[in-house]
Amino acid sequence: MQGFLASWRLYGRTDRMLRNVFGILAVLLPLLLWSAVSYLPFVWHPQVLITDPGGEEYLETGMRMNRVDFLRAVKEMQDQHQPAPQGIPTNPVYLPSPGEVLSAFVHAFTSSAPVGAEHSITQAFAHSIRIIFWGFVISSVMGVPLGIMCGSIPAVARLVEPSVDFFRYLPAPAFGALAVAILGIYDAPKIAIIVIGTLFQQILVIANTTRKLDFALVEASRTLGAKGLRLLFRVVIPGILPDLYRDQRILLGWAWTYLIVAELIGTSSGITWFITQQARYQHFDNVFAAMALIGIVGLGTDMVLGVIGGKLFTWKRENG
């Protein structure tokens, strides 16, 4: 018996170690591939960054051009016995190196010179956080109670779910013009798009989670005299709480996916406005930095919520 327990503990430690290793590799491998593409010219550097235009009139220092066109310009200058242009292999402007993106990311949090959402990642992202927060809160205030009632009361499910099934297939951006007409051009229609994008899915997901509650637990509670609201608040809701918490974590990620679309409704604002403006001036290092910030905050939030869930629901292993 002791040998079995020792083997089981060893298996557990090995399993955790392998999961940690694969987790690290999942982050490192894309970064290594990106670094190879960025820093190793023989991997993929299809363009040339002009350092000296030579005798070619249309070339300028700092200009990028395709390698084939550059070699043609070099040959033309050599045939005319004029100075040949000089350049170094480079990638297209839309693919900055990891170092450039990291520099832009650090600069965003250390520089206080430019003011305005089109210049500051932090100001733009703070605005986007408010949109996500209020959109998800409003969706949850409506969706969680409706989902629980649909899952526990068949009559409510028959009344609500057909309409929800219809609306969940309608793309949330399709409501953009209507939201602007009703709510104006500022933040309200953006919040509405987040709500529409998550509410109907939320109702159905939580209703399904509620239906998965162990029926024997409900029957035992009824045998002991629990019914109505007492059964709902003392048995059903506590019974589904760990799974409900996990569902909310997943649905919060769903809300993030609607952020960029939502912020294009009405007046452009938030991180979407920042990304659009930076891309317009070909500052793609800032674009990548903004995208990385969204991913880092989203993943970080989910990890924190996972740890909190593990502490709150110690009787149920958190798999999310």
- Please give the full DSSP string across 147-188, using - where no structure is assigned: HHHHHH-HHHHHHHHHHHHHHTTS-GGGGHHHHHHHH-SSHH
pLDDT digits (tens, 9 = 90+) for 125-157: 888 999 999 999 999 999 999 999 998 888 999
Mean pLDDT, the chain, rounded, equals: 84
Query: Which is higher by pLDDT, 19 or 144?
Result: 144
pTM of the model: 0.79
pLDDT digits (tens, 9 = 90+) for 101-110: 999 888 888 7
Q: Which domains does the chain have, with CATH numbers?
A: 47-90 (no CATH), 110-319 (1.10.3720.10)
The single residue listed with the structure tokens 């030579």 is 54
**Is pLDDT at 23 greater than 80 in this prediction?**
no
What pLDDT is recorded for position 320?
42
pLDDT digits (tens, 9 = 90+) for 283-298: 999 999 999 998 889 8
What pLDDT is recorded for position 3?
61
Q: Residue range 264-281: average pLDDT?
A: 83
Model confidence at 9, pLDDT cuts 50, 70, 90, reads low
Burial class (CB in 10 A: 0-12, 13-18, 19+), 238: exposed
Q: Are 89 and 67 in contact (CB under 8 A)?
A: yes
Q: Which helix (H) or strand (E) holds 47?
A: strand 47-52
What pLDDT is recorded for position 170?
87
Q: How far apart are CA 215 and CA 287, in angstroms?
A: 51
Q: How far apart are CA 247 and CA 314, in angstroms?
A: 17
What pLDDT is recorded for position 284?
92
Q: Which two tokens stand for residue 152?
A: 């526990």
Long-range contacts of 288-297 (CB under 8 A, 24+ apart): 288/96, 288/101, 288/104, 289/101, 289/104, 289/105, 289/108, 289/121, 290/121, 290/124, 290/125, 292/101, 292/105, 293/105, 293/108, 293/121, 293/125, 294/125, 294/256, 294/259, 297/125, 297/129
The number of beta carbons lying within 10 Å of the beta carbon of residue 27 is: 9
